[in-house]
Amino acid sequence: MKLVLWDFDWSLINENSDYYVVQELGDPHTIEMQKNYDRHAKTFTVLMREVFNDMCIRLGRTQEDFEKCLSKIPVFDENLGVIKSLHAHGVVQEVVSDANAYLIDTVLKSYNVRGAISTIRSHRAEWIEDEGSNGAECLYVSQLHGEDQPAHNCDVCPRHLCKGVVVQKSLESAQQREDSDCISHIAYVGDGYGDFCALRQILRYAQEKKGVKIALCIRKGYPLEKVVQQKAQLLPPRADRHFQFWENGRELSSILSNHVLA
């Protein structure tokens, strides 16, 4: 079987969904909350829980407001096209993201590609009634790792999410879909620091399962491009032969089509 794993912000979409929502629906106070939080005191996911709560309670933003906003978030047309093409050819696709499941699900539905994505692996998020605000609903986000969920032991990733752990679950789940020893093709699309551990996990898998073809699609000019150079010693030898650099949807679509569908 063939597997494509998508990071979301600045990879599947051409924007950061958390920042986009705050810029479009927030005010100077919420923008300041997001910009100047203490990274040692709380994780970004906990921060966004507080920001969303403030937007819903103080500013009165609703689920309808969020969905209308997210329906306009920038996405490369070619990304949408290749997602549909991969799906038509039976390729399993998942999203592995540090955003949250509600934002991702809403965007995918808005662009009519939700059915092409089998699984969203991200922080849990749901609309719940706030007891102290006369029944107003708030978007509540829960960390994928830590808090009420098991912590990860990775010394590279932030404490609220290790994409290496998440990708390992993706690979295990994908293998269970087929009566075969390994997946034949894997592609990962990413741009950020947090994607580095995902790449490491895929490279380890490829070492263990001989014959699997991998393409690690790294966005040019974004943090992941520097990280794979700065932390090359943490990767297997000759890992860079699997790197595919892309700048826009046209380039990424071509890479995925040539690697996965050829």
Tokens 């708030």: give the residue: 138
Model pTM score: 0.94
What's the pLDDT at 59?
96
What's the pLDDT at 30?
96
What's the pLDDT at 17?
98
Averaged pLDDT, 89-97:
96
Of the pLDDT bands very low, low, confident and very high (cuts 50, 70, 90), residue 153 is: low
* 181 has pLDDT over 70: no
* 37 has pLDDT over 90: no
The pLDDT tens digits of the residues spanning 58-89 come to 999 999 999 999 999 999 999 999 999 999 99
Average pLDDT of every residue of the chain: 92
Q: What is the percentage of the chain residues whose pLDDT exceeds 70?
A: 94
**CA–CA separation, 1 vs 94, rounded Å?**
14
**CA–CA separation, 63 vs 237, rounded Å?**
48
CB 90 within 8 A of CB 176: no
DSSP string, 183-237: -SEEEEEE-SGGGHHHHHHHHHHHHHSTT-EEEEEEETTSHHHHHHHHTGGGS-T
What's the pLDDT at 174?
84
CB 100 within 8 A of CB 125: yes
CB 194 within 8 A of CB 158: yes
In degrees and rounded to multiples of 5, residue 3 shows phi and psi of -130, 130
The pLDDT tens digits of the residues spanning 215-251 come to 999 999 999 999 999 999 999 999 999 999 999 999 9
Averaged pLDDT, 145-167:
74
**CA–CA separation, 127 vs 147, rounded Å?**
19
Return the amino acid letter for 105: D
